[in-house]
């Protein structure tokens, strides 16, 4: 069974891994007009790309990724996976099935967090935020991989725990 699950995850990664919005685009382009960002909390107007505080490779982008990761983990810890307020709702456009597959490893009770010594780093074209904690009564470590955008907060691509 676990071999079949691993196969499904690999196929999902191969199918969606290179379809990341903006993956093949230059760094100065934002998401396409057809994609809509996942909103986390704040309903205020988003800044335009010219005045954005989310410029690529900036400390503000790393901080934004950390904030989004904290909200994502808060939802996982509350066992809120599905629905408009669930962890899956924070997925990047095109990454929903891949993220959904990785969330199969998360089972209540879950207590995940960004460790004090955890790192937030750019791995072009994504950002990774270290996480640690407990899920399904076992200790885990790993990271949340996020897609940075020029004009809004990052979205969640995948959760990797081991």
Q: What is the per-residue pLDDT across 58-114, written as a single tens digit (0 to 9) for each? A: 788 999 999 999 999 999 999 999 999 999 999 999 999 999 999 999 999 999 999
Domain assignment present for 138: yes
Domain assignment present for 6: no
The predicted-structure confidence for 82-91, as pLDDT tens digits, reads as follows: 999 999 999 9
Domain count, the chain: 1
> How far, CA to CA in Å, does 158 sit from each of 46, 57, 87, 93, 102?
24, 20, 11, 12, 7
Q: Which CATH number characterizes residue 88's domain?
A: 3.10.450
Domain assignment present for 37: no
Domain assignment present for 104: yes
The predicted structure's pLDDT at residue 45: 43
Domain assignment present for 35: no
Task: List all residues 6 or more positions away from 88 whose beta carbon is below 8 Å from its beta carbon.
Answer: 81, 82, 96, 99, 100, 103
Domain assignment present for 22: no
For the stretch 107-127, what's the b/e string if a residue is b when 16 or more beta carbons lie within 10 angstroms of its beta carbon? eeebebebeeeeebeeeeebb
Domain assignment present for 46: no
Does position 2 have pLDDT exceeding 70, yes or no? no
Does position 14 have pLDDT exceeding 80, yes or no? no
The predicted structure's pLDDT at residue 12: 52
Query: pTM (2 decimals)?
Result: 0.67
Domain assignment present for 150: yes
Higher pLDDT, 36 or 94: 94
Domain membership of residue 153 as a residue range: 54-162
């Amino acid at each position: 069974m676990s071999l079949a699950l691993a196969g499904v995850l690999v196929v999902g990664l191969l199918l969606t891994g290179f379809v990341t919005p903006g993956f093949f685009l230059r760094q100065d382009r934002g998401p396409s007009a057809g994609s809509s960002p996942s909103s986390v909390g704040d309903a205020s107007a988003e800044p335009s790309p010219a005045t954005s505080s989310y410029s690529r490779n900036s400390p503000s982008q790393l901080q934004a990724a950390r904030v989004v990761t904290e909200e994502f983990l808060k939802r996982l810890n509350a066992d809120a996976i599905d629905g408009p307020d669930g962890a899956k709702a924070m997925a990047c456009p095109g990454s929903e099935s891949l993220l959904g597959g990785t969330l199969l490893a998360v089972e209540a009770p879950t207590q995940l967090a960004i460790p004090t010594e955890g790192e937030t780093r750019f791995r072009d074209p994504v950002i990774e935020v270290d996480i640690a904690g407990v899920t399904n009564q076992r200790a885990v470590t790993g990271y949340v991989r996020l897609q940075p955008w020029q004009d809004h907060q990052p979205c969640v691509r995948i959760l990797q725990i081991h």
